[in-house]
Chains A and B, each alone.
Chain A
Amino acid sequence: DSGVTQTPKHLITATGQRVTLRCSPRSGDLSVYWYQQSLDQGLQFLIHYYNGEERAKGNILERFSAQQFPDLHSELNLSSLELGDSALYFCASSDGIRRSQETQYFGPGTRLLVL
């Protein structure tokens, strides 16, 4: 158990809908990262938040947005969903302070299925 929690575990929705994925980082970790895992694209970095501020963006669609709250949990919002958005979405966290900040611990993921 990495200490990173994600909810829900599974999500089934329809095209055009909006969903919110939630992540709680390990205790004490200030950085939260979101990744998408799909069969055709592999594991892709989406976005990084550090202590509530956006730090880096990857291949994140404009339909997707994220935020990190004062209690350090993070939410990934996916809107106007398309079939191709079906994937596993992982959250990872790191302490963001010491040299070991690059060590990222992954949660169990949310499996999203868009029908």
Chain B
Amino acid sequence: QQQVKQSPQSLIVQKGGISIINCAYENTAFDYFPWYQQFPGKGPALLIAIRPDVSEKKEGRFTISFNKSAKQFSLHIMDSQPGDSATYFCAALSTGGGNKLTFGTGTQLKVEL
């Protein structure tokens, strides 16, 4: 059972544009929602994370929007740059459930010049 659904599978954005990746979860016990960025041949790197008591978190060009009632959250990358081209994974975790991260299926982002 896929507990975290992520879309789109791939995304092409022009330099300077906004990249938007969406995720939806099913398990209401999840209480921590990180986004990871992964470059080819590298491990996932934590980008930004949010807890369900806030609706939005911004760090530089990266913003998470969180809708608890809809059980959805999204990553917005403003002013997208070619260096942002990578695979992005949303994830969810229940701190009372062993701290295991449940990942979405990933989105391959390509930012074109």
Residues of A at the B interface (CB closer than 8 Å) are 2, 4, 31, 33, 35, 42-45, 48, 55-56, 58, 90, 92, 94, 101-109
Cβ B45 vs Cβ A102 within 8 A: no
Cβ B100 vs Cβ A106 within 8 A: no
Cβ A42 vs Cβ B103 within 8 A: yes
Take A42-B105, A45-B102, A102-B32 as given contacts and tell me if A56 and B97 are in contact as well, using a CB distance cutoff of 8 Å: yes
Interface size class of B (residues with CB under 8 A): 20 to 34
Contacts of B104 in A (CB 8 A): 42
Cβ A2 vs Cβ B43 within 8 A: yes
Q: Count of A-B contacts with CB under 8 A? A: 60
Among A2, A4, A58, A109, point to the contact of B100 (Cβ < 8 A).
A58
Contacts of B95 in A (CB 8 A): 101-102
Cβ B43 vs Cβ A109 within 8 A: yes
> How far, in whole Å, are A108 and B34 apart by their CA atoms in the complex?
18
A contact face: mostly helix, strand, loop, or mixed: strand
Among A58, A101, A103, point to the contact of B46 (Cβ < 8 A).
A103
**Nearest A residue (CB) for B32:** A102
Cβ A101 vs Cβ B45 within 8 A: no
Take A33-B99, A42-B106, A48-B98 as given contacts and tell me if A102 and B43 are in contact as well, using a CB distance cutoff of 8 Å: no
> How far, in whole Å, are A4 and B100 apart by their CA atoms in the complex?
17
Cβ A48 vs Cβ B100 within 8 A: yes
Contacts of A2 in B (CB 8 A): 43, 45
Cβ A43 vs Cβ B100 within 8 A: no
User: Is B78 engaged at the interface, CB distance under 8 Å to the other chain?
Assistant: no
Among A45, A55, A101, point to the contact of B101 (Cβ < 8 A).
A45
Instruction: Tell me the B42-101 residues at the A interface (CB within 8 Å).
Output: 42-46, 49, 89, 93, 95, 97-101
